[in-house]
Amino acid sequence: MAELIEDHEEEAFGVTESLVDGVLEAVDAGDAEQVDFLLDPLHPADIAHVIEQISPRERRDLLDVWKGGMDGEILSELDEGIREEIIESLAPAELAEAFRELESDDVVDLVEYLDEDQQEAVLDVLEGPERVVVEKALAYPEESAGRHMQVEIVRAPEHWTVGETIDFMRSGIDLPDQFYHVVLVDPKIKPVAYATLGRILSSPRSAKLRDICEESFRVFDVNDTAADVAHAFNHYHLISAPVVDEDDRLVGVITIDDAMTLLDEEHEEDILRLAGVGEGSLSDSVLETTRQRLPWLGVNLVTAILASMVISLFETTISGLVALAVLMPIVASMGGNAGTQSLTVAVRAMATRDLTGSNVWRVIRKEMMVGLLNGLVFAVLMGLVGYVWFGTPMLGVVLALAMVINLVVAGLAGTMVPVALERAGVDPALASGAFVTTVTDVVGFFAFLGLAGWMLL
């Protein structure tokens, strides 16, 4: 164990640069035994980490040398893109072998994003009952509680005692790998409460389960979205929660480790979407990455051209005073920044359900006030800069006014746009950025050049 602690202190995850180098050397030398010696002691998540770190060519070589090393647990841990690539390269028998030891919810995670041919190939190698479970899960909507629940449930009738429960669990029934609660059900298999294993273990055998249940009890519906489930786990500090079907019957359980993964995925989606990177991971190829980012740059191009058209309205003004061309990007840039600040706070607050119908108007008012105050501060600063730099006092005044206007608009747009998008059923993280910076660019150039034309020339 000492090594583990030592290792841990060296790096949070058990993969060091020298380990990756060692594996690559062994692969180059075709030394399967050495590869196995290095990789076998690692946690599947760490092996996946090594596979993700190396280049596509090195990956193919590694898999060639390390035949049979790939198993379902490593596949579960891999990035989607690499996982598809590897699954494609496996023969049906290898695939069957890889999937044999996985629990049904892990199999679902693995196959749900495969293309149909691959999905069919995997389903074909599953045994009868497991195949039924996986197909049933795949019938639920994408990103739903039904897709992500475990169907192995430890449940007990509500009238059972601690002793009966322990005896039942010792009777050699098939128990899930991880479980933290026993779910109490009524005769119609509707979940009514749950007891933690800690309470069960520390109570006398004669205690009734219903007397040692947790006070707080949350049930999810198979159709609840994964995002709602993840945020509810975080909000209520849940450890596991039963999932029911349309008839309120217990059909599965979601545990906190799954919820944590879902929450992490939600975050990744939000942060990447805010930056105009819809999806994708570090291991995607150059072409894939180019294709993923192109549409967002295209949207940005359209909004940039829109801003340019605003500028072109003022060509005569600019010809009259070239200083305007020098200073105009400052107003737009400050507006864009302030808008992004408001926008990001709003998107995050919507994700955590802190921004709701109850406070949206107060938040909008507040963001505009913040814009006004920061606008005034930077108006004074920029007014001085404009005056000192170009020696024209009125240029400073125009710059200052445009700054105030644009920062107030940034506060308004930064909050209104994501709220409006969400009400229209669009993910606010996805499209807000382009809208908000279009508004601040257009308003910024218009205010600055318009005021300049009016007040200076």
Q: Which of residues 304-323 bind a copy of itself (CB under 8 A)?
A: 304-305, 307-308, 311-312, 315, 318-319, 322-323
Contact with a copy of itself (CB under 8 A) among 344, 406, 432, 440: 344
Residue 184 buriedness (CB in 10 A; 0-12 / 13-18 / 19+): buried
Q: Would you say 327 or 409 has its CB closer to a copy of itself?
A: 327
Cβ within 8 Å of residue 71, ≥6 positions away: 44, 97, 98, 101
Q: Would you say 93 or 305 has its CB closer to a copy of itself?
A: 305
Binding mask 141-180 for a copy of itself (x = CB under 8 A): -------------x-----------x--xx----xx-xxx
* 236 touches a copy of itself by CB under 8 A: yes
* 435 touches a copy of itself by CB under 8 A: no
Applying CB under 8 A, the site for a copy of itself has a residue count of: 141
Range 28-67, binding a copy of itself (CB under 8 A) = 43, 45, 49, 52-55
Is the distance from CB of 182 to CB of 194 less than 8 angstroms? Answer: yes
Contact with a copy of itself (CB under 8 A) among 10, 33, 128, 201: 201
DSSP secondary structure letter of residue 141: P
* 260 touches a copy of itself by CB under 8 A: yes
Q: How far apart are CA 70 and CA 129, in angstroms?
A: 24
Contact with a copy of itself (CB under 8 A) among 118, 144, 203, 440: 203
Range 377-416, binding a copy of itself (CB under 8 A) = 377-378, 381-382, 385
Smallest distance from the beta carbon of 132 to a copy of itself, in angstroms?
25
Q: Maximum CA pair distance of the chain? A: 93
161, β-bridge pairs? 208
Contact with a copy of itself (CB under 8 A) among 32, 123, 138, 271: 271
Q: How far apart are CA 308 and CA 325, in angstroms?
A: 12
Is the distance from CB of 100 to CB of 133 less than 8 angstroms? Answer: no
240, β-bridge pairs? 255
Buried b (16+ CB within 10 A) or exposed e, 204-228: eeebebbebbeeebebbebebbbbb
* 212 touches a copy of itself by CB under 8 A: no
Q: How far apart are CA 116 and CA 186, in angstroms?
A: 39
* 361 touches a copy of itself by CB under 8 A: no
* 286 touches a copy of itself by CB under 8 A: yes
> What count of other Cβ atoms lies within 10 Å of the Cβ of residue 183?
22
* 138 touches a copy of itself by CB under 8 A: no
Is the distance from CB of 409 to CB of 387 less than 8 angstroms? Answer: no
Smallest distance from the beta carbon of 197 to a copy of itself, in angstroms?
4
Contact with a copy of itself (CB under 8 A) among 123, 212, 219, 420: 219
